[in-house]
Structure 1
């Protein structure tokens, strides 16, 4: 659970936002239409389509090699699809004129696998990187204040701001990466396998923090994961990648009603049933502890 100080900061965050770009008010902040991604002759995605609803946490799952990270990289402009269209916050990012537009790129944050921190910078300095990139005009004092705020908001102790990545545990590195992803008060948050490598207690704590932040900051979260507990605990919907496409998207009960063999094996196999039983038990013992009906989901 986040510290009391972090909870107080979360509660204040919507009022204290430093950066106030025009907020997207459409139904689907991410719209992917018939994209094809390929590396040479190897086709990863073919005519893949997906719409992400405003304010939801959508989990993205699929077998090894289905291109989950490639899809995320395509959405944020690090991978150019061979064909198709990707619209983010109302802007067509497959249009070369929009691809490098910093006014749109500053409206999302990304937590890459492992945190992807700069090893020679402290946690606070890592958080300040996007501030320097997108808002070089702000004062050093304000930049330091924002970085300290985001460090605590991510659930880290305040003293972690002065530490280097080599001095952090795996879970702390992920939270430091999350602090950097939140630096610009984004509307969209992309998380690439954020609980990978964490012990069950640490993974559950990260899930709770993600849910708290998403609900309070009204974030739309695109979450790649292999963690069945995460899918049950915090995801409003799940998109399944297979056969080079998104073959299904919906709640877990909706997915279980489909007859695709991979979906059935994934969610109805021994690990899937164990995750469902654990979630059911936790929900019964703590009603509302992980409520999926936040401000945008009522």
Structure 2
């Protein structure tokens, strides 16, 4: 029987290690003792039903959502360390692509990409402009996208521009929140291919929230399924299709899962 535990051995090469995480809003708990490990160099997909706390989990890791209990370590460093200097140093190690790109509307694409560099690097403007142009090329955008404002971009271009900004400081870890949401199938497949190429060429670790079954099957090494305040199971898509849990079965082996290229597999006891 496959091991679908969300944790890895203590001696594993882990980029992200979460233990006993508790989050919530008022009297409502979102996560209650959640554990999860993301290995260095893997693409971890994160799925779950509405209200399961996918985005809250990402926001807790990057410090935008307070945690009530538990530990989070990123490359061995305490992500919950209250020391401002430690937090600033750790934030350089990750980039974030929020849903819809979250670009600043009053800045050009190039200026959006330059923002993290201006925050952390003391470089002259011509060098920053050259680095921003390089990030645009990295994500498959032409140089003429740089002087445009976000409102002048298509949905797919906004996603790529947001990804370019997430890569501004060459972080080893990327957080992607619904990166293919709202894209047509061809654009979504192209974005999946881009993510996979970037992961392989740059040696990235990715934490990827998505509802897109095609994305899960095309690029994710493992998938963590959130539910009941914790990670219900974590494994490959094939392993999860055989996992004996109603929501997991409906998601991965139901009609939509089959339409995305799967076929039903008889569930086995977890």
Q: TM-score, normalised by structure 1?
A: 0.83
Distance 1:52 1:124 in 2: 31
Runs of 4+ in structure 1 off by over 3 angstroms are none
Contact 2:79 2:90 in 1 (8 A): no
Q: 1:32 aligns with which of 18, 35, 38?
A: 18
User: Which residue number in structure 2 is paired with residue 6 of structure 1?
Assistant: none
Q: 1:204 aligns with which of 183, 189, 196?
A: 189
The answer to which of 204-213 and 251-260 deviates more is 251-260
SS of the residue corresponding to residue 66 of structure 1 reads coil
- Are the structure 2 counterparts of residues 98 and 268 from structure 1 closer, same or farther at C-alpha, using a change threshold of 3 Å? farther
Contact 2:81 2:87 in 1 (8 A): no
Q: Residue by residue, what CA displacement relative to the aligned partner does 1:28-65 show, whole Å, maximum 9, x if unpaired?
A: 11000010001100100000000000000010000011
Q: TM-score, normalised by structure 2?
A: 0.91
Contact 2:15 2:76 in 1 (8 A): yes
SS of the residue corresponding to residue 95 of structure 1 reads coil
SS of the residue corresponding to residue 146 of structure 2 reads helix
Contact 2:45 2:207 in 1 (8 A): yes
Distance 1:173 1:99 in 2: 31
Report deviation, 1:232.
0.4
- Are the structure 2 counterparts of residues 249 and 98 from structure 1 closer, same or farther at C-alpha, using a change threshold of 3 Å? farther
Which structure 2 segments of 5+ residues have no match?
A: 1-10, 264-270
Structure with bigger helix share is: 1
SS of the residue corresponding to residue 163 of structure 1 reads coil
Q: Work out whether 1:96 is the aligned partner of 2:96.
A: no
Q: Work out whether 1:119 is the aligned partner of 2:97.
A: no
User: Which residue number in structure 1 is paired with residue 70 of structure 2?
Assistant: 84
Cα RMSD between the aligned structures? 1.5
- Are the structure 2 counterparts of residues 271 and 246 from structure 1 closer, same or farther at C-alpha, using a change threshold of 3 Å? same
Distance 2:73 2:104 in 1: 30
SS of the residue corresponding to residue 55 of structure 1 reads coil
5 Å-filtered alignment, 1:220-235, equals: 220-235=205-220
Q: 2:42 aligns with which of 56, 73, 81?
A: 56
Q: Work out whether 1:237 is the aligned partner of 2:222.
A: yes
User: Which residue number in structure 2 is paired with residue 69 of structure 1?
Assistant: 55
Distance 1:66 1:138 in 2: 42
Which structure 1 segments of 5+ residues have no match?
A: 1-24, 279-298
How many pairs are equivalent? Answer: 253
